[in-house]
Chain A
Amino acid sequence: MPDITAITAELHAAGIDADRVITDRTAMTCYGYDATRQSRPPLLVVLPQSTVEVAAALKTAAAHRLPVFTRGAGSGMSGGTIPTGAGMVLSLTMMTRVLELDLENFMVTVEPGIITKELQEAVAAHGLWYPPDPASLAFSTLGGNVAENAGGPCAVKYGVTGEYVRGLEVVLADGTVITTGNKCVKSVSGYDLTRLFVGSEGTLGVITKILLRLLPPPAARRTQLLAFADMGTAAETITAMFRRRLVPATIEFLDHHSIAAIRQELPFALPPAARALLLVEIDGEPETVDRDAERLRELVAPTAIAVITAADERERDTLWQARRALSPAIARIAPHKLNEDIAVPRASIPAIIARIDAIAAEVELPIVCFGHAGDGNIHVNVMLDKTDPGQAERGERAVAEIFRATVGLGGTLSGEHGIGNTKSAFLPLEWDAPTIATMRAVKLALDPENRLNPGKIFPPDFHDHIS
């Protein structure tokens, strides 16, 4: 049994004040959950304020052989931050500084606890733009975004978090501090360790600084809502757009369940026949935006049953608010949901949608689909009542079937949420044994005792093997 008194004494000696080390058992409940509704209190919680303090905490954890679970805002959707054992939770939410804004090189260095939206506002004040826009951007932290390699609607054109990360400062399992990457656009010296840590879900080290590249913001954008009579036509329209070389910044789609859930919140009436919606945003220079919006209208004229253009920023905000409120809004359909965020190559969207429809019919459960159709990333929600054993079993079967269909189409288990502990059992479905063995070799090289976020990413037998 770890000696809590000795551990807290060491942390205090390292300069971490008493009010930033929490050991009260019930108090820790508020640092042991995330958006998956799992909750497990750890052994202790530490709220460091600097790299030095993070390093000290990791040294202490190493000395006492404690598992370490790093967390930000706890908005993760795959259980990435859930303490799976009696260990130390490192909450990095107090490390919120913008360390350097390099206006010449379009680069910004931040601490991991800064909230994504705060970063966007900070750089926007200087006429720059940080594009990644996860739905949780008003509260999720950048550290969490990097650790899960989060994406958002604008990934279609601008990519995900990882594509903006140019360098990191990372504290390793034994407390050693390393630096990766630099401000150079071209940089090929040594292994690309930055890429290794992006999306590593807290299993390889603790990220304490993040160097990000920025873009100038687009001068104009046009937001349109396209309504279709069925999902198949909507899915076909997406592929048709790209075939015409039309690349919107975002293409979000909503199925008929989603439409029913938010119909009330939309600023205008939808045709009753609408059973699928596409929210399309085109950005760029004013002239090209107008031209592309016109091309889009021509393209969908034969198939769409309604085309609505947001008249102003307020209407655009309302549309996006409705879209972001979807996840909680569909909770009204059934008491529980199994939500996955599969992704397929965008050309396979019609195929995966058709397959999910068939699976829903087979298991006799509503499956709500919405998400980032433009990049093939679909939020699939199997709605059920878990207290009904029959539904619970059918729900699990549906998820397994969806994963199989996804992988069969060249897709992936997770587009942006990460594997965490909710999808780890399915990893062998996507990757063969030698590939997982390679990941394992990397993991053990950096964390031989499997103390950094154990129980995540790898299938359960890996962790049994280690301990």
Chain B
Amino acid sequence: MAVCPLYRHTRREEMVARGKLALFAADLERPAGEPLPTFHRHAIDHCLLCHSCEANCPKGVKITDLVIAAREEIAREAGLPPGKRLFFALLGGKIPGLARMLKFGALFQGLAWRRIPQSSGLRRRLPFPLTDDHTVIPRLPRRQLADFLRARKPADSGPPVIFFPGCAISYLFPEIGRATIRVLERLGFTVLVPKFVCCGTAARAAGDRNTADNLQHQNHELLAALPLGAPVITACATCGHALMRYDLGGRRAVDISVFLMEHRARLETLLAGRTLDLDVTCHDPCHLRKGQGVIREPRELLDLITGNRFRDLAHPELCCGSGGTFGVTHRELSRTIQAEKIAEITATGATVAASGCPGCLIQLREGLTNAGTAITAEHPVVLLDRLLG
């Protein structure tokens, strides 16, 4: 209750874990065949799956698993909305050509969306569904991560590491993937990037378990062919969190910030005292801080990059309100949460807000753009790559 971002802004008991548990208990009494009341549907729908309640639960109740199970139940009863169905069919590879479609989109996005000066985002020209005049979406890159991977000559002398880029980095933010690979190679690692598919979180969160399990299975098969001792590195908090439920064959999954801090001495040698001349703050992605328990390392990394000019937020643990598709389906509430986050970022006086999650970056960039500030939002590894030159 103290930590639920939705409760913070709605003050309604059905938003918090305790209320949802009471509703689930009441549901068990519901006669078979009687449809779920709208109130319950609404309550189950209203969860960012941010794990804040779980991270603070003294009894270790897995509330997000229960919410996901409830969503699976609803999806089974009523089916998924058509938009989500199409989206997961694309992610799950049932409809081929997601990468090509997005590339095609990159060519023509200028017709419907206009660029925003001093931002890497786009605003709509036409009244698209699910958007409004304040919606800022990332510009689709013409060159996706796959194009970069094809062009690169992988080093093959150092110890191997596996990079799991995930959809957002592959298709929307290839620069994060590129930076991750370059930094790891500079540290002397051989970076293996097999053709992983989506980690499955988006489908799982919506209650589409089949698609999620299927994706996980495909990734398991790709992993089977890779060296056993190599850690699986993620630069997307959500993918990293999803990998926690994977069978990695004894390998460990590790966020890039943690991995870099484990190799801090070598990184310091590489940097040779160079720093970026800027003040930086950090928004903790829920799937990193609460999902993976990573809090210290991104701060240490940012301090290293800027020469101890990291400034913490007043409430770094608060969700940014993105919550995957929550920001699209519950725009008003998501924007309220976003506004609070942006105000805290502005109050730090930093010029860059770092965050290790593409979803958070989209949400932060939209908020920062709408607030009219010059503060930018970046992935920490992109800052590091820029510093390394």
Q: How far is the CB of A112 from chain B (nearest CB, A)?
A: 12
- CB under 8 Å from chain B, chain A span 115-147: 115, 117, 138-139
- Which residues on B sit within 8 Å (CB–CB) of A73? 1
- Complex: A245 Cα to B316 Cα, angstroms: 42
Pairwise interchain contact B2-A138, C-beta atoms closer than 8 A: yes
Q: How far is the CB of B188 from chain A (nearest CB, A)?
A: 35
The chain A residue sitting closest to B28, CB to CB, is: A26
Pairwise interchain contact A47-B37, C-beta atoms closer than 8 A: no
Q: How far is the CB of A98 from chain B (nearest CB, A)?
A: 15
A403 contacts partner chain B, Cβ-Cβ < 8 Å:
no
A30 contacts partner chain B, Cβ-Cβ < 8 Å:
yes
What is the interface residue range for chain B against chain A?
20 to 34
- Complex: A24 Cα to B43 Cα, angstroms: 13
- Complex: A93 Cα to B15 Cα, angstroms: 13
- Which residues on A sit within 8 Å (CB–CB) of B30? 26
Chain B window 18-37, contacts with chain A (Cβ cutoff 8 Å), 1 for yes, 0 for no? 11101101110110000001
A-B contact pairs, 21 of them (CB 8 A): A26-B37, A26-B40, A27-B26, A27-B43, A29-B22, A29-B25, A30-B13, A30-B14, A30-B19, A30-B22, A30-B23, A31-B13, A33-B18, A74-B13, A74-B18, A93-B12, A94-B11, A113-B11, A139-B1, A328-B58, A328-B59
- CB under 8 Å from chain A, chain B span 287-328: none
- Which residues on B sit within 8 Å (CB–CB) of A117? 2
B128 contacts partner chain A, Cβ-Cβ < 8 Å:
no
B39 contacts partner chain A, Cβ-Cβ < 8 Å:
yes
Main secondary structure of the interface of B (DSSP, over half): helix
The chain B residue sitting closest to A31, CB to CB, is: B13
The chain A residue sitting closest to B315, CB to CB, is: A121
- Which residues on B sit within 8 Å (CB–CB) of A96? 11
In the complex, given contacts A26-B23, A30-B19, A30-B20, what are 16 additional A-B residue pairs having Cβ atoms less than 8 angstroms apart?
A26-B27, A26-B37, A27-B14, A27-B40, A29-B22, A30-B13, A30-B14, A33-B18, A73-B1, A91-B13, A93-B11, A93-B13, A117-B2, A139-B2, A325-B58, A331-B59
A52 contacts partner chain B, Cβ-Cβ < 8 Å:
no
A241 contacts partner chain B, Cβ-Cβ < 8 Å:
no
A348 contacts partner chain B, Cβ-Cβ < 8 Å:
no
A329 contacts partner chain B, Cβ-Cβ < 8 Å:
yes
The chain B residue sitting closest to A136, CB to CB, is: B2
Q: How far is the CB of B213 from chain A (nearest CB, A)?
A: 31
The chain A residue sitting closest to B13, CB to CB, is: A30
Pairwise interchain contact B58-A27, C-beta atoms closer than 8 A: no
What is the interface residue range for chain A against chain B?
20 to 34
Interface, chain A (partner B; CB < 8 A): 22, 24, 26-27, 29-31, 33, 39, 47, 73-75, 91, 93-94, 96, 113, 115, 117, 138-139, 325, 328-329, 331
Q: How far is the CB of B372 from chain A (nearest CB, A)?
A: 23
- Complex: A221 Cα to B199 Cα, angstroms: 49
- Which residues on A sit within 8 Å (CB–CB) of B22? 29-30, 33, 39
Interface, chain B (partner A; CB < 8 A): 1-3, 11-14, 18-20, 22-23, 25-27, 29-30, 37, 39-40, 43, 58-59
- Complex: A313 Cα to B336 Cα, angstroms: 31
Q: How far is the CB of B57 from chain A (nearest CB, A)?
A: 9
- Which residues on B sit within 8 Å (CB–CB) of A91? 13
- Which residues on B sit within 8 Å (CB–CB) of A74? 13, 18
Pairwise interchain contact A26-B29, C-beta atoms closer than 8 A: yes
CB within 8 Å: A-B pair count? 58
- Complex: A199 Cα to B39 Cα, angstroms: 34
Closest 9 CB pairs of A and B: A30-B19, A26-B26, A328-B58, A138-B2, A93-B11, A27-B39, A139-B2, A30-B22, A139-B1
- Which residues on B sit within 8 Å (CB–CB) of A325? 58
Pairwise interchain contact A47-B39, C-beta atoms closer than 8 A: no
The chain B residue sitting closest to A114, CB to CB, is: B11
- Complex: A93 Cα to B22 Cα, angstroms: 18
The chain A residue sitting closest to B1, CB to CB, is: A139
Q: How far is the CB of B286 from chain A (nearest CB, A)?
A: 18
Q: How far is the CB of A34 from chain B (nearest CB, A)?
A: 10
- Which residues on A sit within 8 Å (CB–CB) of B39? 22, 24, 27
- Which residues on B sit within 8 Å (CB–CB) of A29? 22-23, 25-26
- Complex: A192 Cα to B48 Cα, angstroms: 47
- Which residues on A sit within 8 Å (CB–CB) of B1? 73, 75, 139
Max chain B Cβ within 10 angstroms of own Cβ: one of A27, A31, A91, A94:
A27
- Which residues on A sit within 8 Å (CB–CB) of B40? 26-27
Query: Given that A29-B25, A328-B59 are contacting pairs, would A47 and B12 also be in contact in the complex, using a CB cutoff of 8 Å?
Result: yes
- Complex: A24 Cα to B42 Cα, angstroms: 13
The chain B residue sitting closest to A94, CB to CB, is: B11
- Complex: A30 Cα to B37 Cα, angstroms: 14
Q: How far is the CB of A142 from chain B (nearest CB, A)?
A: 13
- Complex: A139 Cα to B8 Cα, angstroms: 10
- Complex: A425 Cα to B160 Cα, angstroms: 70
Max chain A Cβ within 10 angstroms of own Cβ: one of B20, B22, B40, B58:
B22
- Complex: A39 Cα to B26 Cα, angstroms: 11
Q: How far is the CB of A260 from chain B (nearest CB, A)?
A: 16
- Which residues on B sit within 8 Å (CB–CB) of A138? 2-3
- Which residues on B sit within 8 Å (CB–CB) of A113? 11
- Which residues on A sit within 8 Å (CB–CB) of B29? 26
Q: How far is the CB of A46 from chain B (nearest CB, A)?
A: 12
- Complex: A328 Cα to B60 Cα, angstroms: 11
- Complex: A27 Cα to B39 Cα, angstroms: 7
Q: How far is the CB of B330 from chain A (nearest CB, A)?
A: 14
Query: Given that A73-B1, A93-B11, A138-B2 are contacting pairs, would A27 and B23 also be in contact in the complex, using a CB cutoff of 8 Å?
Result: yes
- Which residues on A sit within 8 Å (CB–CB) of B58? 325, 328-329, 331
The chain B residue sitting closest to A25, CB to CB, is: B26
- Which residues on B sit within 8 Å (CB–CB) of A27? 14, 23, 26, 37, 39-40, 43
The chain B residue sitting closest to A74, CB to CB, is: B13
- Which residues on B sit within 8 Å (CB–CB) of A329? 58
Q: How far is the CB of B340 from chain A (nearest CB, A)?
A: 12
- Complex: A96 Cα to B18 Cα, angstroms: 21
- Complex: A115 Cα to B26 Cα, angstroms: 28
- Complex: A325 Cα to B58 Cα, angstroms: 8
The chain A residue sitting closest to B23, CB to CB, is: A30
- Which residues on B sit within 8 Å (CB–CB) of A93? 11-13
Q: How far is the CB of B256 from chain A (nearest CB, A)?
A: 26
- Which residues on B sit within 8 Å (CB–CB) of A47? 11-12
- Complex: A22 Cα to B37 Cα, angstroms: 12
- Complex: A331 Cα to B60 Cα, angstroms: 13
- Complex: A148 Cα to B206 Cα, angstroms: 42
- Complex: A96 Cα to B9 Cα, angstroms: 10
Max chain B Cβ within 10 angstroms of own Cβ: one of A22, A30, A91, A138:
A30
The chain B residue sitting closest to A32, CB to CB, is: B22
- Complex: A331 Cα to B59 Cα, angstroms: 9
- Complex: A206 Cα to B339 Cα, angstroms: 33
The chain A residue sitting closest to B36, CB to CB, is: A26
Q: How far is the CB of B300 from chain A (nearest CB, A)?
A: 15
- Which residues on A sit within 8 Å (CB–CB) of B13? 30-31, 74, 91, 93
- Complex: A179 Cα to B14 Cα, angstroms: 33
- Complex: A204 Cα to B23 Cα, angstroms: 31
- Which residues on B sit within 8 Å (CB–CB) of A75? 1
- Complex: A33 Cα to B59 Cα, angstroms: 18
